[in-house]
Structure 1
Amino acid sequence: MSKIGFIFPGQGAQEVGMGQELYNKYPEIADYFNRAEEILNLDLKRICFEGPEFDLNLTENTQPALFTMSAAIDDYLKKQGLVPDMVAGHSLGEYSALTSAGAINFEDNLKLVRQRGQAMEEALPAGLGTMAAIIGLDIDTIEDICSKVVGVCEVANINTPNQIVISGEKEAVATAMERLNNAGAKKVVELSVSGPFHSSLMEPAVNRLKSVIENVEIKDASIPIVANATAEKVIDSNIIEENLIAQLTSSVRWVESINLMIDEGIDTFVEVGSGRVLKGLLRRIDRSVDCYSTRNIKDLEKIIGDLI
């Protein structure tokens, strides 16, 4: 019998129209969007279903939008009988994983991700920080080049063995991009983001979010979560809290996280939420495992037919 891992996407997975088909078909999923609007006093359905893209891409909107969709689909799948053996989430997705594992309830976590988005948006004045994806260079070369750049430039996401994201001050990242190109990278692309996420420049967001997290009830998880900051399994509520605070300035160690899950026997992954970003990354980490998407009715029907 398959061991199931739920993985939850972060920023970059959003798209205008996300969740609308599922909202119209499944009352259980619609309930989550309706509750989220009431809790946040935010026109979340319009932002998700109609856009405009600018509104959806504002970090303070993107994060609750993605979290709500993931939490709704997660709950729907469990009610159909599909329960994960282990969970992990990419950046923001770690918050969705925590709700899936019973560590933080939906309402508290929704408020938390909204404040996380606001804190990240306001951590640095717009235009001073950025991120870039590097394709086709190893981590050691990237870290070495980043360490020799004047200013802040750090590894933010280790998404696959050959796709690594750097983050930092705009000029420092631009310099690193040029040097990484010269070092033989296949592709170097600046990302369309509002800040230098998962770098030390997020320290102001840490200070703001720490007090918020400390006032949220965090329980021991019912199943193991693989943490971004450590790529280790965690159940203990105190360690979960430490990891959430560390996560804002730490690298997302996604390759190690997925490999750990596979080593633990997970052979079937379900990307719970919008998009297919994590499915694409998984194929570049290990093609031997299966991965299902959950973006639409067709996706959910396939999962129910194959796995339940």
Structure 2
Amino acid sequence: MFQSGSRMSNASGWIFPGQGSQRIGMGQKLLEGSPSARRVFDEASEAVGMNLTRLCLEGPIDRLTATQNAQPAIVTCSVACLAMLEEQGLKPAAVAGHSVGEFSALVAAGSLTLTAAVQAVRKRGELMARVTTPGGMLAVMGLDVSRVHELCHTASQEGVLVVALHNGPEQFVLSGSHAALERFKQLALPAGARECVMLQVSHAFHSPLMGQIQDEWRAVVARIPLRMPRYPVVLNTTARTVKTLVCIRRSMEDQLISPVLWVQCIRALVGMGITRVLEVGDSKVVSSLARRVEPSLETATMQAPP
């Protein structure tokens, strides 16, 4: 099922996709070919009280895309892929996950159970969907990080504006007020940006505009059962590996309003000696981003060819 010219070895770094990778039909090949994958979907469905198998295979897309549904669906699909890898006796050298994918990575490392993970992200999505503060997100391509921050500083005179996702050396997603995002767009295109695209999202994720639910989410995080990971886990908010359980909880809390440092996470994996990464999920989004960060990386996905 690997979409690569060579089989990934036990020395690989495993990376896990986040929200935005969902699509109707995701997980279909897993469910058709792996009893262990089917058990993962059944367990996750029971844990969150909804039929995730039907949701992933049939949608409808607006229901699958809803934050409170997309997050447990994506984690479940990734953990189903993980079950297939474990059946083959494969293990990662290190793991990292993009945004909600960090919960999948923590399951892979043995820090979280599947049940705890999907219940946590289901609640996370429900809280996010309840935020009433208006805001949006803007993808920006073609500017380096210093220029993006410079223009952000200027545009933030119109309202809250932050870099929410460091996806590549010249690929970022901003979160903030609609006025500030529009001002940034006006500044960025004349400054040399190749493209500025407003994302179809309901809120300004990974920004201070999510602060309305921070206290409630912190209380949820405090109750999540955790264990120390079996493998190194590179965390989104620091791009450093887990040292204590406090590190994990703090990252879970901070990720709500803080940026995803994906560029730095991939570079941290490379700094640990990782030369190959496998995207664990029915997606090729984060492996594609990883290649842009470090073109020398060998990458593979578990997404079946069409």
Paired residue secondary structure (2:206): coil
Q: C-alpha distance in 1, partners of 2:241/2:302?
A: 24
The amino acid of 2:135's aligned partner reads G
State the partner residue of 2:77. 69
Q: Is 2:181 aligned against 1:173?
A: yes
Task: Summarize the alignment of residues 167-206 of structure 1 with structure 2, pairs less than 5 Å apart.
Answer: 167-206=175-214
Superposition deviation, residue 268 in structure 1: 1.2
Structure 1 alignment gaps of length 5 or more = 300-308
Q: Is 2:26 aligned against 1:26?
A: no
Task: Summarize the alignment of residues 1-308 of structure 1 with structure 2, pairs less than 5 Å apart.
Answer: 3-125=11-133, 128-149=134-155, 150-296=158-304
State the partner residue of 2:4. none
Report Cα offsets for 1:59-115 as digits up to 9, x if no partner: 000000000011111122022111001000000001111111111111111100000
Paired residue secondary structure (1:14): coil
Report Cα offsets for 1:266-295 as digits up to 9, x if no partner: 111110012111121112111211111112
Where do 4+ consecutive residues of structure 1 move more than 2 Å?
Answer: none
Q: C-alpha distance in 2, partners of 1:256/1:211?
A: 28
- Cα root mean square deviation, aligned: 1.4
Question: How many equivalent residue pairs?
Answer: 296
Q: C-alpha distance in 2, partners of 1:112/1:2?
A: 29
Paired residue secondary structure (1:148): helix
The amino acid of 1:237's aligned partner reads L
Superposition deviation, residue 180 in structure 1: 1.1
Q: C-alpha distance in 2, partners of 1:2/1:27?
A: 23
CA contact (8 A) 1:221 1:235 kept: no
Superposition deviation, residue 43 in structure 1: 2.3
Task: Judge which range, 88-97 or 167-176, deviates more.
Answer: 167-176
Structure 2 alignment gaps of length 5 or more = 1-8
State the partner residue of 2:3. none
CA contact (8 A) 2:165 2:174 kept: yes
Superposition deviation, residue 168 in structure 1: 0.7
User: What TM-score, normalized by structure 2, do the two folds share?
Assistant: 0.93
